[in-house]
Amino acid sequence: ILERAKTHHLPTYFISAKDKERREFDREVTALLEEKQVDLVLCIGYMRILSEEFVDHWYGRVVNVHPSLLPKYPGLMDLDVHQAVLDAGDQESGCTVHLIDQGVDSGPILIQKRIPVVPEETAESLKAKVQPLEGQAFIELIKRWPMEAIPQTEFAARQEASK
């Protein structure tokens, strides 16, 4: 992501987390984000748990993408989440962009992108189909921001009612 940003002459910044407590690191990130007057924080492949302080400060402006149709399979990552979809016999999968809250993959939903799961699907093939959807979802989010976020329980009920 950093290389693509540099290719397009977009400013990039790197803050090392090495030898830092989570809260200290998050404070440094917050200081930079505020200095640059950032109004939307995208967590893309961000494999760290954010501090409560960071989440509280940025709530409503910090989002994550999860490679499943939340509220299904929160907390699972990489091939594990796709294998869970297959093991459950789900007919569709996809990704969810959601606000980050104090839970794990529990924040209100902004966007979901869906794809069918075919009988010969593997965790690897499903991952390969879902990953491009994540980028599409973030692009849609940026174009439509700000947008309504729907609590996961309400979102799931709406999806069920529309079937």
Query: DSSP per residue over 35-69, as a string?
Result: HTT---EEESS--SPPPHHHHHHHTTTEEEEESS-
66 labelled catalytic: yes
Tell me: pLDDT of 73 over 80: yes
Distance CA 38, CA 26 (A): 15
**pLDDT tens sequence across 145-159:** 999 999 998 887 877
Q: What backbone torsions phi and psi does residue 78 show, to the nearest 5 degrees?
A: 50, -135
> Catalytic residue among 8, 9, 57, 66, which?
66
Homologous superfamily of 13-161 in CATH?
A: Formyl transferase, N-terminal domain (3.40.50.170)
**pLDDT tens sequence across 96-148:** 999 999 999 999 999 999 999 999 999 999 999 999 999 999 999 999 999 99
This prediction's pTM:
0.91
Tell me: pLDDT of 160 over 80: no
Domain boundaries along the sequence of the chain:
13-161
Q: How much of the chain exceeds pLDDT 70, in percent?
A: 100
User: What pLDDT, on the 0 to 100 scale, is given for residue 83?
Assistant: 99
Hey, is 150 helix, strand or coil? strand
For the chain, count helices (H), then strands (E). Answer: 6, 4
